[in-house]
Amino acid sequence: MVWIAFTLHGGNWRASSWGKVLGYAELMTLVDRDRPEPGMWVEQGAPHEDALEVGKAVADLARFDVSFPDGWNPVADWQDFDGLTADAVARATERLMLRPARSRSAGIASLVISSAVLGRAPDYTAPEPECVVFARREGTPSWFVRRPAVDAFGREYSVEVDGFNRRAHRPYPGAYRKFVLTPDPTADILGRIDYQIWVAALAKLESALIDRLVGRKLTFSHRSATPWLEDRDMVGIQLCRAFGDTKRVEPQNKC
């Protein structure tokens, strides 16, 4: 009835948002489409048993969460920059851990699936940033100084304020400059975190599928968690089971 009313009013129903739906409803098939056999597909039969087992193992990755072992450092090939590198790693880690635990766990399986579809490992390229003086928008280096203050409850604390004396055109006594890493390395650090999660997830899949495949045989290969280090191999992120069927178990700091 919708098609009849639309046609009677002179409308071009094939150009409307309902065009494809109404075109199929008219003859219950698609006519003169760009495919050789419109409206048809190849029936491939039931999926292989091994494919089902791999799918179950990948889905089971959503029960794991990430864990950072002692001595973990995803940018050991960078300079320390007087603690700025460690601060950048802490910010990137905090950004990951601020996600809900279920979201992090679901992201593990999604990372494995997307890497398999793309046919490549997550990108861990992370050029070392530069350490520069924190400057204003016009490029002038900024000065800072800490001043004592008192809150509404009478508690004393210190606050960081502008440390440059505009009248005297020089910094205040005790003023200091701040340094930052440029470009912001957070995205690169998160990329290396994704790579290490992917490596740990593949290890879990190998362990899970070792005795479950019937038509295929796994070929084990050691994949480094820190391929950006040429002279050594450091420990990477671990995956610990965090979710069961009914009860959640909080992951510890070490597996």
Per domain, the residue ranges of the chain are: 1-45, 50-80+98-129+185-241, 135-177
Rounded mean pLDDT of 21-30?
68
CA dihedral for 187, 193, 195, 197, sign (positive or negative): negative
Nearest Cα neighbor of 107 from 169, 171, 55, 64 is: 64
Burial of residue 196, with CB atoms counted within 10 A of its CB: 0-12 exposed, 13-18 middle, 19 or more buried: buried
Q: Per-residue pLDDT tens for 81-127?
A: 999 999 999 999 999 999 999 999 999 999 999 999 999 999 999 99
Better-scored residue on pLDDT, 143 or 76: 76
- Quote the pLDDT of residue 34: 58
% of the chain with per-residue pLDDT over 70: 80
Tokens for 7, please give them.
Answer: 């046609």
- Quote the pLDDT of residue 24: 66
Find all residues with CB under 8 Å of 125, minimum gap 6, and list them: 188, 191
Taking the C-alpha atoms of residue 170 and residue 164, their distance in angstroms, rounded to an integer, is 6
Question: Is the pLDDT reported for residue 8 higher than 60?
Answer: no
Distance of CA 188 to the CA centre of its chain: 11
- Quote the pLDDT of residue 232: 86
Q: Letter for the amino acid at 51?
A: A
What is the pTM for the complete model shown? 0.73
Rounded mean pLDDT of 201-219?
89
Residues 63, 69, 74, 80, Cα dihedral to 10°:
150
- For helices 186-209 and 101-118, give the axis angle rounded to 10 degrees: 80
